[in-house]
Amino acid sequence: MMPTISVEQSLLRTLVENRGRVHNIEDLANRLPLIGCDIDSCDEETLEIEIFPDRPDMLSGETLVHSMLPFLHDSPPMPHLAVGPGTISVTVSEDLESIRPVVLAAVVRGVKVDEGIIKRLMEHQEKLHFSLGRRRRRASIGVHDLSKLAPPFKVVSVDRNYSFIPLAMTESMTIDEILEIHPKGADYAHLLAGMARVPVILDSNDEVLSFPPIINGDHTTVTCETRDIFIDVTGWDQRACEASLMLICLQLAAMGGQVEEVRVKGYNGDIWRIDGTPVTHKVTRKLVESILGNKFKDSEITTALARMGGIYNGEEKGVLSVSMPRWRFDILHPIDLVEEVAIGHGYDDLSHDVPKAPLTAIPREDGHLRRRIRDSLQGLGLMQIQSLTLSNDEDQFNSMAWKPQGEVTRMTNPITTEHTILRQNIIPGLFRLLAANRHHELPQGVYELGTVVIDHKNQEKFAFLVAQARGGFASLRGKIQALMRDLGCNDWTLVPCEDGPWLKGRSANIIIDGNIVGQCGEIDPNVGMKFELNVPMNGAQFDLKALGKVVQDPVH
């Protein structure tokens, strides 16, 4: 699922003002999707906003407002992060190269901390761990009360018998005990699997600040008395670590803090300090105008990029120079700048264009069969939907009582826990659709004809699912019979099956000429409960390739 943040009324009033292009919540709801988020819910105290995965720079109320003001109210862009000089240093041991090589740090002074700030800071930290940090593997963040520490700091490796008092504990524990017993240690122990030595950050008194990426030391906890905050970020991805550090600093700066640099001497001797200046990107005018189909004046590009938080530096030999905030992790390619121009300019204001490539095509071999299936299912009163090909093991297999067919295609770096694999079945997506519409009246019937991935190869399946107060298996059989009639198939049978999300004794394999082409049945109420559906349901799922082999094509 996409992350959701709560924006308090004090910040919400900054977004919704009687000026610019936003005057009320309705205006805000219409404009938020353009920049990468959507309103989930709103009450008198908070606004729940769902953030699209490609905008990790909006995962706190403060950084959201920072990004929104230029877009919503044409406020001047603010791509710089003000950073002052500092005297604190961190030294990284050479053996960290093979343990956790990226170590970055900064200090933010003068933050007036209260319970609300602590909560928002911790929530932001965990959202960054999940998104940019890829569950702390690429980047993990430590936040500490600087007044309880004695700089300078050092990052060293220790063996697993090393002990200290971790956060939320009162007694010293060894590294192995933390990884086995402490809740955070058990959750993230896999990140250090196979390592004989692990990283710790120490101050000049050899007190443990942090055991990254697992847990902080107990004595560094940020409280309402904290005014100066030390932030460490460690990991394997330099860019993810830098963006995470800058976004935490940006949030604390919005709370009144002053960001201060920390001198970090890396494992290889290189010196790193936080850099608050924007990054300069290049994109050709030809690419922008060919993709968007518009001729842009310099003033239009300036305005469009300013709304997206960037600064247009001008053009040289057909190449546009753009300065964007260094924490904009999503700017990876010139095409991303094209999108920034499109969003900032406004899609409604782009000119119309016609395709310049020939559009003639060869019909699919299964095209007639697909059309007949759609006509039949729509004739039965079912509504066609299109769901995501991305899914997860719980929906595809555990909840459905289906075993994987061949190898499962998994995402290497999933953005959300719900999108970790490519689906092998269509029906789970139908469950999700009905669950999202459970407040509507019955009956509800939907179907989908789409792609699944089995053994890393695309295949086609179709399925339908009906939620209705009455009917049961007799109604389902009538739908199967009507579908078979429309496909010109008279010789078909139903044979009881044991697997699948079906109610025992009320399900069957659909067999044509001795070949299993699909399954159907009443839905087991226990399966429906997993999707918060408490109504009787029935449905079916077919393999299009298997069906195509036994159903005659009347056109040929």
Q: Which of 217, 229, 209, 220 is nearest to 155 (CA)?
A: 209
Domains and CATH numbers, the chain: 4-73 (3.30.56.10), 83-272 (3.50.40.10), 279-349 (3.30.56.10), 367-550 (3.30.930.10)
Alpha carbons within 13 A on the beta-carbon side of 533: 30
Q: Which of 131, 143, 170, 150 is nearest to 89 (CA)?
A: 150
Q: How far apart are CA 141 and CA 231, in angstroms?
A: 7
H helices of 106-198, where?
115-130, 175-181, 183-188
pTM of the model: 0.68
What does the radius of gyration of the chain's CA atoms come to, in whole angstroms?
A: 28
Inter-residue contact 128 to 248 (CB < 8 Å): yes
Terminus-to-terminus CA distance in the chain, angstroms? Answer: 45
Q: What are phi and psi of 19, to 5 degrees?
A: -160, 175
Angle at which helix 61-73 crosses helix 25-35, to 10 degrees, equals 100
Q: How far apart are CA 449 and CA 545, in angstroms?
A: 12
Reading the chain (556 residues) residue by residue, the pLDDT tens digits are 455 555 655 566 666 654 555 556 666 666 666 666 666 666 666 667 777 778 889 888 899 889 888 888 888 999 999 999 999 999 999 999 999 999 999 999 999 999 989 999 999 999 999 989 989 999 999 999 999 999 999 999 999 999 999 988 889 999 999 999 998 999 999 999 999 999 999 999 999 999 999 999 989 999 999 999 999 999 999 999 999 999 999 999 999 999 999 999 999 999 999 999 999 999 999 999 999 988 999 999 999 999 999 999 999 999 999 999 999 989 999 999 999 999 999 888 787 767 677 777 787 788 888 999 999 999 999 999 999 999 999 999 999 999 999 999 999 878 778 899 999 999 999 999 999 888 888 889 999 999 999 999 999 999 999 998 887 888 999 999 999 999 988 889 999 998 999 998 899 999 998 899 999 999 999 999 999 888 999 999 999 999 988 887 766 5
Which residues contact residue 343 at a Cβ distance below 8 angstroms, ignoring those fewer than 6 apart? Answer: 34, 35, 304, 307, 308
Q: What is the DSSP string of 4-56?
A: EEEEEHHHHHHHS-SBTTB-SHHHHHHHHHHHTEEEEEE-SSEEEEEEPTT-G
- Tens digits of residue pLDDT in 523-534: 999 999 999 888
Q: How far apart are CA 491 and CA 514, in angstroms?
A: 10
Q: How far apart are CA 3 and CA 247, in angstroms?
A: 16
**Which single residue is written with the structure tokens 């995962």?**
59
Q: Is the preceding omega at residue 152 within 30 degrees of 0, hence cis?
A: yes
Q: How far apart are CA 382 and CA 426, in angstroms?
A: 15
- Tens digits of residue pLDDT in 473-504: 889 999 999 999 999 888 899 999 989 999 98
